[in-house]
Amino acid sequence: MFEGPEHQLLWRGLGTRPVKPSAPTSHGPPWDSPALFIAKTPLIGLVDYVNTYVIKADDEDVVIDAGPDLFLSIMALRKNMKRLNVRLNRSLFIVTHAHRDHVGATRRLAATSKVYIGHNELRMLTSSEDRAREVLAFAVENGFPECLAKSVVRLTLATRFKDAPELVPLRDGEVLELGHYKLKCVETPGHTQGHICLYDQDRGILFSGDHVLRDITPNISSWSYEEDALSAYLISLKRLCELDLAIVLPGHGRPLKGLKRRVRELVNHHEERLLQIIKILKAQSGDAYWISSKVRWKTRHPSWWRTSIFYRWLAFGEALAHLNFLVKLGLVDRKLVRGKAIYQVVSDNAVEVVKKVIASFFFATL
């Protein structure tokens, strides 16, 4: 990851490539951090790879977010682990959250190892049939076609760990001392309910998982009426701004500096999305699936109806997170009409309220 006499960056398993030094901070230069590496594990999907971080310690190696359980991904990861002389049978695994692209390979590689995960995320590794039925009913009630929703729910909520290794829950504030690093667990719900980041205060390094990404905006979805994922996400972002950071190491894409600047961009993105949904509903009320089709998403496809079902599912979930936020503020009303949840704007000054809430409550100090 970082330039130095004993360090190398694994760039898709090919050669070395150092990260440029960051701007001066109160910490020592992060590129001098000992025994920290990155392996870019390839993916098939919306992003090209997941960043798997490796810490070389004296007694055991540490693997953060091993990646998906896909044949090509596992092969590439094993090659990179061999190159770094990582002893998988003596490694400790940490996962920032339970999405398949981060946790899938852990089940195969960590058969005899400890796996650390946020305590609120544990249930995601053993999702029950009841949970799948609840999400399916919620999606259909909000307009997602049932025949399509069944296949997506089956894929996204399938049991991850039937033969689980030793799962160790991490709680907010707990510290893992691993070689040269002291990684503090920082609970950051939003992308998932139990997402965590790992913070090394001495070096100002944050392993941010999918909570903060440099190149794309993390997906924020809600899968029940009670879940206010957007509020949780914004509050978690504000909390990270209180940390003294030299560099952020995300789950996808490039490392980033200037966390507060990126947080402003992410907050502005969600404010714009809220205002766009209000504009859509002022023209016509409708269900969440229809609203999703009217939102301006950044996609390579020419139209909503030609995007993949999985992409539509993510967009649908994100629209629901924003709708739940607006309902909670009392700006949008939700009524059940012939078995479908229909949303409509009920406040004439909804736009002004959203701007005021975002500016004054969440980020007045940024």
* Residue of 312, 240, 315 whose CA lies nearest to 273: 315
Helix-strand-coil percent breakdown of the chain, rounded to 5?
40, 20, 40
Are residues 216 and 47 in contact, defined by beta-carbon separation less than 8 angstroms? Answer: yes
DSSP classification of residue 323: H
Class of domain 30-128+162-258: alpha beta
Q: Which residues contact 240 (CB under 8 A, 6 or more apart)?
A: 186, 188, 197, 206, 208, 211, 212, 259, 263
pTM of the model: 0.88
* Predicted confidence pLDDT, tens digits, the chain (366 residues): 433 333 344 333 322 233 333 444 455 545 455 688 998 888 876 678 899 999 987 778 899 999 888 888 888 888 988 888 888 777 889 999 988 888 888 877 776 678 999 999 987 776 667 888 999 999 999 999 999 999 888 777 654 565 556 889 999 999 999 888 899 999 999 999 999 999 999 999 999 999 999 989 999 999 999 999 999 999 999 999 999 999 999 999 999 998 999 999 999 999 999 999 999 999 999 999 999 999 988 766 667 778 888 899 999 999 999 999 999 999 999 999 999 999 999 999 999 999 999 987 555 545
192, 124 contact by CB (below 8 A): yes
Domain boundaries in the chain? 30-128+162-258
Give the contacts of 241 (CB within 8 A, at least 6 positions apart).
259, 260, 263, 365, 366
